[in-house]
Amino acid sequence: MKAGLVYDPIYLEHDTGDHVENSQRLVAAMSYLKETGIEEKLTCLPSRPALLEELEMIHTTEYISYVKSKAEKGGGWLDPDTVMSPKSYEAALYAAGGLMVAVEAVMKGEVDNAFALVRPPGHHAIHDRAMGFCIFNNMAIAAKFALSKFNLNRILIADFDVHHGNGTQDAFYADPKVLYFSTHQYPFYPGTGWMDETGTGEGEGTTVNFPMAAGWGDEEYLRAFNEVLVPVARRFQPELILVSAGSDAHWADHLAMMRVSVTGFAQMAVVLKQLAAELCQGRLVFTLEGGYNLQVVTSSIKAVFDVLLGNSEIDDPLGKASLARKPEGFDEHIEAIKRIHYLEG
């Protein structure tokens, strides 16, 4: 199994200071991949900057120009959560471009699957605005790129970041070619992603939201994947699977209140890899979104690479969350989502 890694030192030059989304996330991850021997088993894929016309598949020309100008003036805040430094525009170009490199390598068969370790992250960014630490929507740009360059008709985007990927949803809400599936804590930032948000027009039914109550963990996430994602994916028959991978649903991540473990992330990756093997010749690409506990980020990235490489043993140094009373109501919740998407029986 040939797994690709996209990484570039330019990602570290998106200098956010002591912001929770900072360069240490990637410094720690790359160090851990090296010290555990995983890096040498990966195929390194050199990143590239996204072209203006590629950014414009999702973002307005005015917004792109504004971000570039902001960097040239030394950086600053794009919104209350999202900060830029002088090199952030360049880093953001390479983040979007890096994910497109991963997609192209998988589509051309140069690697079996890939994980793009990029920053700034992307799934909150909308067409004309930065949001939630995100400048350009790397995932949405990559999906548009794949549809266009490889003449695809159906792409599945799965998003297990703890925050709803409102920007990605918005980009494809009326697009029948992209099935967007998201698990996320609700109610929580950015306030979107309730189960009744299912798409509009020709895209009706191709947005599948699985809002999660604070306190749910591995068992609930795995059931969401097996009982909702798997059947909707089989019905949709994607030609490529893209994954927004955040580790902030982990019980040790202080920005949220979920109870997923590193093992849980690996189990989700296994489901996605099996779906890709069954439905689209194994074509599977992950990209990094959130996750702010460094030990969790590094361990979760390694666990996903272990799955992509076919390693059966998963290291989980933090283990499961300590026992505590979990919120009730999951069975009723999943049944309601199944009814909305015609998955009864």
Rounded CA-CA distance 217/261 in Å is 8
CB 144 within 8 A of CB 57: yes
Rounded CA-CA distance 169/157 in Å is 10
Q: Is 72 helix (H, G, I), strand (E, B) or coil?
A: helix
Rounded CA-CA distance 23/98 in Å is 16
Q: What separation in angstroms does the CA of 143 have from each of 55, 154, 179, 231, 256?
A: 12, 10, 11, 21, 27
Q: Is 250 a catalytic residue?
A: no
Rounded CA-CA distance 320/300 in Å is 13
Active-site annotation holder among 14, 124, 163, 333:
124
Query: DSSP letters of 245-284?
Result: E--TTBTT-TT---BB-HHHHHHHHHHHHHHHHHHSTT-E
What DSSP character marks residue 90?
A: H
Rounded CA-CA distance 332/338 in Å is 10
Q: Which residue numbers are catalytic? A: 124
